[in-house]
Structure 1
Amino acid sequence: MALIGYARVSTREQNIEAQEAALRAAGAEKVFVDHGESSRIASRPQWVACLDYMRPGDTLIIRALDRIAGTERMAIETIRELGARGIRLNSLTEPFLDIDSSTPMGEAIVGIMAVLAQLRVSTIRENTRRGIEHARAQGRVGGRPRVMTAERIEAAATLRSQGKSYSQIASALRVSISSVRRGLKEEL
């Protein structure tokens, strides 16, 4: 009966250390960590390794349900699969998830928790969408600043009219060839 931890972050820039430390503090003997992996993808490398590693009687410790499943359906299926294999699930932030999912009451609680986890994810997405819409209404576009300024496009057009190749223009302007092509295409 081992305590196994699983931690995940969606982007490579996010820090996983706090999740991993919390899992170890909760007694996880081994922690599997996925970096830059979406919870909507079931075949995350370390998640698959974690599932392969666990045996009946083990307990999987997670920080929150959204670490292992990105949708309500995935959460229910995952928890059912774990229960069928005799593996308990323990969430550090959702202590009521430490239940026996093989009973009717346990299965009902799992379903409710999956719905709440999906609500949380959907709320975050909706708030992000609203924020982007508001920023656009204020004239902010977001994203990476454009490399091909009006001056660079003008210089690229001049160099192109002199017979220079896209590669030569890109080198001269210190931008990528695709930026040159896009900039010149927009000018037309």
Structure 2
Amino acid sequence: MDVILQPWPWYVSGPLIALTMALLILTGRRFGMSSNLRTLCSAAGAGRIAEFFRFDWRAQRWNLIVALGVLLGGFIAQNFLSPNDAVAISEQTIAKLKVLGFNDGGINYMPEKLFGLTVFSDVKTMVILIVGGFLVGFGARYAGGCTSGHAISGLSNLQLPSLIAVIGFFAGGLLMVHLLFPLIF
């Protein structure tokens, strides 16, 4: 018997996210993935070099378990719970991606052009990934957190700075996809 797996419906996943956020708020913790990099760097001794990394990283160990769970959950979902790698996007989007050189649009989630092993031999793609990674890191630090921290944790706490950050994240994403992405590729 072939089992067709589907994503969890909103009425299951939404309340689970809400329950998780309620538990975090009640225990005085905040959720965010970018803070894990700070915790990892601090645990590795980066506090000897930079003031930013001088804090009690042991108090944030629980968040490292969350990050490990995200990696493990992603691996399990991709390799055991996904019926296929096809992405449900419109034919127009697939055609636009092909014009930009992404021949696997609609076929898999991670374009070979950006995530395949060939990126290590292409200087342009390496520069794009390094500059993009720096900008994402700088943006997360400048905004005081990443998209998951602001959009899930900050908005759950009704924080105005998180609302402003989320609006900025979305505006930046739209700007990137519609204006800069076609210029880069």
Q: TM-score range by the shorter chain?
A: under 0.3
More helix by share: 2
Q: Which structure is higher in RCO with an 8 Å CA cutoff and minimum separation 6?
A: 2
* TM-score, L = length of structure 2: 0.26
* TM-score, L = length of structure 1: 0.26
Q: Radius of gyration: which is bigger?
A: 1
